[in-house]
Amino acid sequence: MGGPAGLTEREVEVLRLVAIGLSNDDIARRLVVSPRTVHTHLRALFAKLGVSTRAAAAHEASLLNLL
């Protein structure tokens, strides 16, 4: 089942962590994945949300009540 804005469960996790200000390296450590995997998730969720910055993504997370 898809999440808000068509995000996957993992993309929602990454988005929440971006919104609290974690770096890609910090997110990777928290989720036990590589920083490259985090980057891939970010590219996908940016596209789905129609944003191009971490700040804009964090704003969208707030609008989607993900925080």
Dihedral sign (CA 24, 60, 41, 20): positive
DSSP the chain: ---GGG--HHHHHHHHHHHTT--HHHHHHHHTS-HHHHHHHHHHHHHHHT--SHHHHHHHHHHTT--
Q: What is the mean pLDDT of residues 10-25?
A: 95
**Which residue type does 7 have?**
L
Structure tokens at 35: 């920083």
32-61 confidence digits (pLDDT tens): 999 999 999 999 999 999 999 999 999 999
Q: How confident is the model at residue 29 (pLDDT cuts 50, 70, 90)?
A: very high
